[in-house]
Amino acid sequence: MTLPSLFDLTGKTALVTGSSRGIGRAIAVELARHGARVTVSSRKIDACHEVVAEIQAAGGTAIAIGANINDKAQLRALVDGTVATHGPVDILVCNAAVNPYYGPISGIADEGWDRIMNANVRSNLWLCQMVGPTMAARGDGSIIFLSSIAGLRGSAMIGAYGVSKAADMHLARNLALEWGKQGVRVNTIAPGLVKTDFAKALWDDPATLKNVLAASPLGRIGDPRDIAGAAVFLASKAGYFVTGETIVVDGGATIGGSL
Ligand SMILES: NC(=O)c1ccc[n+]([C@@H]2O[C@H](COP(=O)([O-])OP(=O)(O)OC[C@H]3O[C@@H](n4cnc5c(N)ncnc54)[C@H](OP(=O)(O)O)[C@@H]3O)[C@@H](O)[C@H]2O)c1
């Protein structure tokens, strides 16, 4: 076959926030495996360098740039550093997020609400404002937000986080409309429970895990690599006609079936 694979990302530049571990790390590694030049980023630069070393050892191209998603100047430097080394960003994956509050949304303090909304929604908008216009001017680009099935369903425990993840879905729809005619696609991935540090409080609790597994058609929770395929799809020509969408990757957890 002489035609390149629909999933080929050769020559593309990808920036992935929160890619020192968990889902972001798996996405960065898989984007690089498919040919993209990747920027690995999180607050802890040493952990990012480890991911870069893994990618380089496998023959891929990657750099590490530290950035806190709550700091606009650091995000500006992250984008500028990526462009200076790899060239303009073709694939932006807004993956880093926080959930500092477990409890009823009716009881959340302003500080907790602001932390969740600023990290999970505002930082995504900032990055899009920095990268999207250049993508639009060049006539091509893929932006991916890591949302969650918590943005699709109500919750008495992680409701504020869920609001932020629902907001990401709607941010994607709005930006998909704004930039679609210029060839920029904006989508979200909504994972179910995945075995990472982020969700340890859930999968490490035997009662919660039992409930999750009972409601899971596949009978398991996710591995970070389970999520990365959807990102490669959305980043590549394979997903070229998909925009404003949310791809649920949850082992079937949200399909229902109470009887
Ligand atoms: N795990 C799940 O069950 C699950 C389910 C649905 C959706 N998600 C979503 O998937 C995404 C990734 O989650 P994960 O489970 O892979 O989390 P994780 O394993 O805890 O990794 C989080 C990543 O984000 C970075 N990070 C955290 N705060 C940051 C900040 N303020 N600025 C920059 N980077 C920051 C962390 O590195 P540093 O600490 O070095 O900054 C790390 O690289 C999130 O959007 C999450 O909401 C996860």
Indicate the pLDDT class of residue 258, thresholds 50, 70 and 90.
low
Note the pLDDT tens digit of each residue in 151-170.
999 999 999 999 999 999 99
Say if residue 257's pLDDT is above 80. Answer: no
Which residues contact ligand 1 via a Cβ below 6 A?
17-24, 42-44, 47, 68-70, 95-98, 119, 146, 148, 191, 193-194, 196-199
Q: What percent of the chain has pLDDT over 70?
A: 99
> Using CA atoms, how far apart are residues 66 and 207, in angstroms rounded to an integer?
37
Average pLDDT over residues 47-63: 98
Indicate if the pLDDT at residue 52 is higher than 90.
Answer: yes
SS3 152: coil
Ligand 1, atom 41, residue with closest C-alpha? 43
In this structure, which residue's CA is closest to atom 11 in ligand 1?
A: 95
Average the pLDDT over 145-149 and give the result.
Answer: 98
pLDDT tens-digit profile of 80-103?
A: 999 999 999 999 999 999 999 999
Q: Which residue among 19, 25, 43, 227 has the greatest number of ligand 1 atoms within 8 angstroms of its CB, and so is best to mutate?
A: 43
Counting residues of the chain whose pLDDT is more than 90, the rounded percentage is: 97
Domains present along the chain, CATH in parentheses: 13-195+224-248 (3.40.50.720)
Q: What is the mean pLDDT of residues 120-137?
A: 98
Indicate which atom in ligand 1 lies nearest the CA of residue 47: 40
d(CA 189, CA 97): 13
pLDDT of the residue at 2 = 80
What's the pLDDT band for 115 if we cut at 50, 70, 90? Answer: very high
Q: Active-site positions?
A: 161
Which of 147, 187, 198 is the best mutation target for the ligand 1 pocket, counting ligand atoms within 8 Å of the beta carbon and taking the most?
A: 198
pLDDT digits (tens, 9 = 90+) for 1-34: 788 899 999 999 999 999 999 999 999 999 999 9
The phi, psi pair for 110, rounded to 5°, reads: -55, -40
CA separation for the pair 71, 186 (Å, rounded)? 23
Q: What is the pLDDT of residue 14?
A: 99
What pLDDT was estimated at residue 1? 72
Rounded CA-CA distance 200/123 in Å is 24
At 259, is the pLDDT very low, low, confident or very high (cuts 50, 70, 90)? low
In the structure, what pLDDT confidence band is assigned to residue 75 with cuts at 50, 70 and 90?
very high
